[in-house]
Structure 1
Amino acid sequence: MTGSEASPSFRLAYVPGVTPGKWVRIWNERLPDVPLTLLAVSAGEAPDLLRGGGADAGLLRLPIDRTDLSAIPLYTETTVVVVPKDHIVAAVDEVSAGDLADDIVLHPLDDTLDWEHRPGRPALERPATTADAIELVAAGVGLLVVPQSIARLHHRKDLTYRTVSDAPESRVALSWPENETTDLVEDFIGIVRGRTVNSTRGRAPAPAQSKAKRPEADSARRKSAAGKSTAAGTPTRKSPRSGSGGPKGGKGKSAKGGKPRRRS
């Protein structure tokens, strides 16, 4: 880890479709004195924003140019095709890329899916953004293949979506400048990876503390010691029947000490 001084705040960029709310809530619980600022950016802008120092870390979609950036994949999204509700695709639960061969499939400039062969027929022009492409789908111009969270983000009552079984999936990752792996970045990595608040990974470990002795064990030891001390200092009392040489059950007095005989 490159240990730079912690800044008074943490700036987190995120791209459309990614919802960082859960992680932000955990951050606020664990680091209430370090405000977290969210920066909404387009998928194409996110890598350069991180390289330029505009954010401490970012939630973005792979693949990206990894030059000067570190990245940890977090999860993978299902890919879906957005269609009008009266389109034939809406009648099934799932389609393949080949099922879209006769349709115009829009390919916006901000598309992040890593296609080897794009499905369908290309439109005459590429829409500038995914939002523009959604409007064209609603107008009946073509279809759009996107990560499922993007389809949900642009939900409309006149549109629906279905899973594309053999389309490339979208991977969401946490990324940051590789030379700026600060303590706060490590804190956020721990949050998104589900580490507990007591985890010391990425931080200097806290000084080891001796285990506290159990009160009941201490009490038992004290009682035991007190018992031994009493036993050692108290003399043993002899039985009143012991010590003399008299026979058992006898009077215990010698003949000389008895009553004198009467003389005849």
Structure 2
Amino acid sequence: MTGSDASPSFRLAYVPGVTPTKWVRTWNERLPDVPLTLVGVPAAEAFEALRGGGADAGLVRLPVDRTDLSAIPLYTETTVVVVPKDHLIAAVDEVTSEDLADDIVLHPLDDTLDWERPPGRPAIERPATTADAVELVAAGVGLLVVPQSLARLHHRRDLTYRPVSDAPQSRVALSWPQDETTDLVEQFIGIVRGRTVNSTRGRPQAEAQPKAKATDKAKAKARSQDKGGAQRKPAAGTSAGRSSRTGSGAARGGKRGRPRRRS
């Protein structure tokens, strides 16, 4: 672990659709003296924000360039299609990409899904952003396939969404510069991984204490055995291992001696 935790705050970047609320709450409970600052960034700019020092870590969408960035996958999102509420798809629970074949499916420039070939018929132009694409869906221009969190982020009363069972899925990860794995970054890693406040990972001094106690116990046990052995030392004139209740070893030995001569 490198770096320093001397910074007065921890800056966490996050991309649209990701909700860091629960982790921020845990951070504030465990490190009340270290403010956590949230930095919202577009998905396409998240990695540059980390490389350029704009944030200490970020909640981003995979894939991540592992050349200079570390990443811990957190969860995988359901992919959905956003449609007008009066569309036929709104009447079913789930669809496939084939079900979208006859519809225009918008493919915004900031799309986060790794399509080999987007479903449906392409629009004449690609919308600049997902937000723009949602407006076009509401206008009846086409449909939009996105991670569920983005459908929720851009929710409208006149739109709904349904899962697409065979579409690519978006995976969210925690990422940070490899050379900047500071103590505060380690603290946040522990939070997103669900470590308890008493976790000893990353605190070698805390781990060393139980070993020292175990050594002390072993020495105390050895001293106790030495004392016990001295107390159990057989008295002079008796055989080792014989108790006073069964008689002495010498008495039993006399019965095995030579027979007495008859006069």
TM over 0.5: yes
* Aligned 1:1-264 pairs, distance under 5 A: 1-206=1-206, 208=209, 210=213
Rg comparison, structure with higher value:
1
Deviation at 1:46, TM superposition (A): 0.4
Matches of 1:118 and 1:111, distance apart in 2: 11
| Structure 2: gaps spanning 5 or more residues | 215-263
Deviations 1:211-243 (A, max 9, x none): 9xxxxxxxxxxxxxxxxxxxxxxxxxxxxxxxx
Deviation at 1:56, TM superposition (A): 0.1
SS at match of 2:186: helix
Matches of 1:107 and 1:64, distance apart in 2: 22
Matches of 2:68 and 2:170, distance apart in 1: 22
Matches of 1:202 and 1:88, distance apart in 2: 54
Counterpart contact for 1:84–1:159, Cα < 8 Å: yes
Matches of 1:57 and 1:77, distance apart in 2: 21
Counterpart contact for 1:61–1:173, Cα < 8 Å: yes
Report the AA paired with residue 81 of structure 2: V
Matches of 2:65 and 2:141, distance apart in 1: 32
Deviation at 1:205, TM superposition (A): 3.3
Matches of 1:105 and 1:54, distance apart in 2: 35
Matches of 1:115 and 1:193, distance apart in 2: 29
Matches of 2:205 and 2:145, distance apart in 1: 47
Counterpart contact for 1:51–1:177, Cα < 8 Å: yes
| Structure 1: gaps spanning 5 or more residues | 212-264
TM-score by length of 1: 0.77
TM-score by length of 2: 0.77
Matches of 1:16 and 1:192, distance apart in 2: 18
Counterpart contact for 1:63–1:112, Cα < 8 Å: no
Runs of 4+ in 1 over 4 A off after TM superposition: none
Deviation at 1:183, TM superposition (A): 0.5
Matches of 1:205 and 1:101, distance apart in 2: 61
Q: Compute the RMSD of aligned alpha carbons.
A: 1.3
Deviation at 1:5, TM superposition (A): 4.4
Matches of 1:150 and 1:176, distance apart in 2: 23
Deviations 1:129-156 (A, max 9, x none): 1000000000000100000011011111
Q: Which has the higher helix share?
A: 2
SS at match of 1:176: strand
Report the AA paired with residue 130 of structure 2: T
Matches of 1:164 and 1:23, distance apart in 2: 29
SS at match of 2:73: strand
Q: How many residues align?
A: 211
Deviation at 1:116, TM superposition (A): 1.3
Matches of 2:8 and 2:142, distance apart in 1: 48
Report the AA paired with residue 16 of structure 1: P
